[in-house]
Structures are given as structure tokens and as C-alpha cells.
A and B are shown apart, each in its own frame.
Chain A
Amino acid sequence: MLELTKTIYKGASFLVSKTDASYLFTPEDFTDEHKMIGRTARQFIEKEVAPYSEEIENQNFDLVVKKLRKAGSLGLLAHSIPEAYGGLGLDKISKGIVGEMIGPSGGYGAAHSNHTCIATLPITYFGTEEQKKKYLPKMASGEYIGAYCLTEPNAGSDALSSQTTARLNEEGTHYILNGTKLYITNAAFSDTFIIYAKVDGDHFTAFIAEKGFPGLTLGPEENKMGIKGSSTRSVILEDCLIPAENLLGEIGKGHAIALNVLNLGRFNLGSACMGAAKYGFKKAVQYTGERKQFGKTIAEFPATKEKVAKMAARIFAAESIQYRTAGLLEEALGDLYETNDRNTVSKRLSEFAAECAICKVFGSETLDYVADEALQLFGGAGFIKDYGIEQVYRDSRINRIFEGTNEINRLLIPTHLFRKTLKGDLNLKTKVHEAMLQLQNPESSPYTGPLSSERERIDLIRNLFLVCSGLAYDSFGANLADEQETLMRLADLAIGLFAAESAVYRTIKAVEKNGKENEAVKIGLAEAFLEEVMWDAERLSRTLVSQLTADDHSRQLQKLIIRECTRLQASDNNFLRNRSIADYQNEHGEFSS
């Protein structure tokens, strides 16, 4: 469905080199089918799920399962399953679109996404022919609902320290599993459970268990803060018998499944969060357009407009990174539906690990930000259940925790780069050197054409990231992994860079196609977002420089950063720009770009 020129684009390369708008997939590149898929998914949520939100919130799981089956009958569970196994084998853009549209549905959405992503993908990408034949058609239709069981009481973020054991029985027919899996989504109504356990206490391995396998029981339902419509229980394995043929992948290679599948899970979580953020935003815009105080609608106050503009700008960036990443994932994975080569699958699934981690972190934090501001704009009504924004706020919070906490995901981003450097895949030293030179002697007006000054700012952010990475590498070398304060800030620089670059280059692509006049809205949104990222980048890089260098060098470098940031930071009409962004959004009554 998607036609992108095959590029030599490699994971995390945005950190070290410039991008090109033509490589970027954007929502403006959707095909008619993409749009139709989006409309169907949206209608499904609006007509089949939203009207039942109270029952779903009250944990009527029979109803949730019924809705999942209905989704199955519309193909909404089958997009990422190959055609040969009863699925549709659609591209990753379609996956992202469905994820976005399901996003606003809170607990239902968590159940839906958990099933299509981390519960199904292990079989899709690592299952044997027999396993795929047996499970995938039923998972595509919703006849089977799945769970993914990695977390344990003593193995959360440190998932590979699992204490669950597996041992082949004497007859060689079954593995005997013992252990407890904690906080397992969909547990109450799942038919399949992807379980990770250590064979002979040592070799981390994945298994497919089914409801009713002897020795598999469920703990009580957890009493959660949000996404109440999804079930969360422990899965208890007491001499649980799993047929030997249900071993998934290879013995000792469970980590390749567990972690690689999470990459797609994190991408999808970003899509869902972005969709939910649009929903919260729409509610806020509609409410503030009606509620009056001091003789005016709340929407008319400039303070409200600034909030609306900032929310819209962040949503625009989130949308831009999601579909950019979808395009990248499609390039890496599009032709893998048929393959049985697990090494290639693992490699391609992990190629864009940094981008997927950014989708997860940026998406979940965008949603938290929007949910909080939207609730605030409701005033007292925001705190009252009847208005519905309170649930958006509660449902949002989990996204920063599961599928790897945002801290764990942040750590992963710069570490990914340093690992490539250590492996010799990347010459960081040269890149850092070049960045430093550009910081010291910036080329005047290096770009022509639309958004040329925005392009310069993106380059500056990248140079700041590189210079700080170089300092960190020089200061700590192999011990860098222990320097989390530094890694967190490098991650934030990287996230800002990827998000701002995606928003700006998406806008450039649109302007090149439709002209500046017709894309004024995108230009405004991209600038508003870039402004925030620039302030963050200045603060982050100055903090790092002050901590990583000695006095003299530090002072010089600080001056350089201040000089360059001040030179390039956006102009004097930012307040007015934000007001007009809000006017446009208010007029549309929902997020629009």
C-alpha cells in the first residue's frame, strides 16, 4: 500500500545526520484506503464502544470481549497478521491509523491494542508454521484473545531477571512451568498467554500457553486507577504443563522476542496516546467554546488560547513522529510477513528501537500534558466524573509506566547510539567534531526555500546533542551507563530533536506541495513546537556542559550555546502566532492541521 523510495535509512540516524523531507512519511501521504480504514476504526469506536463506556468502565468483561469480536469481524484485529493466516497483512501505516483511532477508548483500547500487538506479534514473527496456522486465524477474528506475560513480582523493569522456570518433563512431551506473572493485561478473558520463563533456570525462553492448560490459574482482578475496562491480573503457574511444540522461537532466545515485539508495542502505544490526546483536546475546545465567565467564553481568553496552541503544537509533533516512524517500520518490516528467518526478523524489529522508544515516551507525555491541561480548562467540571475528562486523565497515566517505563525507554535512546559507536557502526568522534565546528563557525543562511530558518534550528539542536554526547563519552567512557542524569538529558535532547525535526520536515513537505499560503496552519504549529524545543535544548545542553566540563572550557561553551540559541530562536510575534493557532483550532472544534 505504501510506496516509499527504499532508502539506506538506518535506525537512530536522525541523531547524527540531516534528514530529507522526501524520505518522510506524513499523514498528508495517506492513500484513500488509509483514510477509509481510519474512518471505519473511528466509527467503530464512536458507535460500538463509546456508548457503552460506563459498562466497560464497570468491568463488564463479557461486553469487552463482545466488542473485541465485533472489531474482529470488521478486520480491526487482523491488520498486522499475514493474509496466509487469516489476516490482512496491511502496512504499518494502517497499524498506526487503527492504533490512533482506538486510542480514545481507554480501557477498551488497552485491551484491543494489547491483543493485536504484544500478544499476537510474537506468534506472527517468531511462530512456527504450525503455531501460526493454529493461532493466528483465531487471533485475527477475535475468537481468541491474547495476553503477554513478561512482568513478575521481582522482575519489572529488569524483565530479563525473570524467576519463572521451565523444565522439560522426562517423557519430553511437555515443559513444566513454575512462577508468577504480574499485572497481565487481558488475563481474565484471554485464550492465549505468551509466557517467558527460564529453561532449566537459565535460558530465557518464550512459550504459548492456553487457558485451561493444567496448572495455569489467575489471581484476583487488580483495583486500578484507570483503564478499568481492561482486565489486569496475575497469572500463576504451578507445575503448568505446556506441550513441547508450544515453545516459541528458540531456547535461550526469549529476549529477542520479548524486547523486539515491545518495539512495535511502543510504537503502537504512541499512536494510541496521540489519538487519545486529540480526543481530550477536542473535549476541551468544545467545552471552552460554550462555557462563559466574565461575559466571555473561556476560549476567548488569551491564556486559554496559549494553552490550546501549545497542546495543538504538541499533538502535531506527536502525529508527525508517529507516521514518520510508521513509514520507517514499514520499510524495515513490510516484506517480512512471509519470512521464517528469525535473525532477520529480530534485526529489523530492533533497527528502529530508538524511534519506537521516542514514540512511546513522547506520545505518553503528550497525552498526560493534554489530559492535564484539558481537565484544567474544564475548571471544577474537570474534576467531576459526568463531564468525562476526568477519565481521560486517569486513563492516561498508565502509559508512562507499562511497555517499559519512560525512564527505561529514555535510557535506551542514547545507549542505542553509544552501542553503535562501540560496535564501530558509527564514527561519533567525527560527527561530534563537525558539530563543534558548526557551532563555532556557523554558515550564514545555509538554506533557501521554505522554513529555512527552522531547518537551521533543527541542525543546531542536533549539534547540541552531538557536542553533549561527545562530552559525555569523553568524561565517562565505558561507565556512561551509570551516569543516568546525563543519559536522561541526552535522551530529552534526542526526543526534542526527533519530534521537532519530524514536525518541521513534514511541514516543509506540505509547503513544497501546496505552497506557503495553504499550509500556514502547519507552519504555525511547527514553529510553536520548535520554540518550546529550542528553550528545552538550550537548558539541557547548558546543564550538561556545566556538569561535564571544567570551568574555562565550560564558560566558553556556554557562551557559544547562548549565542547560537539566541541567534536562531524564533522571533517576536510568538504570542500572536499562538493566538491565531488557537483561533483556527477553535473554529474547527477539534485538532486540525
Chain B
Amino acid sequence: MYAFDWSSIPASLPFLWQGMLVTLQITLVAIVVGILLGTIIAVVRLSKNPILSALAAAYVTLFRSIPLVMVLLWFQLALVPPVVRWLFPKSNLDLNLLIAFTAFAFFEASYYAEIIRTGIQSISKGQVMAAQALGMTDGAVMRLVILPQAFRRMIPLLLTQAIILFQDSSLVYVIGLADFFGVAKNRADSTGSQVEFILFAGAVYLILCLTLSTIVRQLQKRIVI
């Protein structure tokens, strides 16, 4: 029978915490930028301009049709480094972190855009008419009436997507970035306690995701709109 040896883990906790910070940074940036960009894409997709709408639809289709690993590699090999070199030729930016931020933000934006589009469309025409009847412009109707209601309805879906994103962030190992999972894997290789580190990392992901899922369930019960 396999004899577990957990002794390497306490000494690795500071490294794992550093990795967790990277994971949380990627998750947070991707959520914030993804939702902002996703909102713009969703609004553009619902616009009356057929060209803009088609472009927004193409963006969503493109990113939702490609595996995230491939997006990360594209951003690393072809997109981010040349742009950064062009924009900031003398900078010492952490390129891998920047690649992770941008790849996740652009990738998640396509998923958030679909959630937000559905949320916007769930608001009744009567609400839109009531806002227009008060003299609001289309922009004001969207900003003051539709989006605030839509976001309340979307919170559970947005958080569920955030949980998926948190888990998917472990894929950054393909661009050589040491997030929580990457650090755990490195420590596992260097200490020889592979099973223990993978189990420990899995337990951390499980606890965090279960906690977030519980919050989502509670929110679903409380959101009445």
C-alpha cells in the first residue's frame, strides 16, 4: 500500500501561496475585463447595425470554438509579445503574466457576452417601453434600466462562469507561468511527493469552488428580480 508523506507540504506553503496569488490575479482580471468587454460585445451584438452585430457574433463564435490552451499559445507566440515590444520597447513587464491576463480576459469575454446578451434579452419589452416613455435615450435605457436588472438576474451565471475560470486558470502552465497548480506541480517534482501535492492542490480547488458554489446557490435563492 502507498505510504503518504505530507511532510514537504508545510515547507511549500509560502510558494503555494505565491502561486495562489497568481491564480487569483488571473481570475480577477479575467472576470473584471471579461465582464466589461463582454457587456460591450453583448450590447453591440444586440445593436440594430447588422455589420457591428455580425462582428460581435463572429468574435463570440471564434473564441467559443477554440480550446483555451490554444488561445493561450496564440497569445504567447503571435499576439502579446510583438504588441508589447511595439508599445513598450524598453519595459520589463512580466510577459507571461500579461499573456495570461489578456488571453483569459479575451476568452472569457466571449462567454460573458453570451450570458449578458441572454440577461439583456430576458428584460421585458414593457420595461424598455416604460423607460423610453419617460424620455430616456437608448443609452440611458440600457444603463439605467436594462443592465442593472439583467446583472441581478445574471449574478449566479456570472459567478458560475467565474468558478470555471478559476479552475481553467491552471492551464497557464502551458505558457510557463507558475500559478497555484504550476507551483504545486513544481514542488511535487522537486520533492518527489507527487501524489500528495496533487491531492493537496485538488483539495484546495475543491474547497474554494464548493464555497463559491454555495454562495451562488444562496444568491439564487435571494435574487427575486
A, B from the same assembly? no
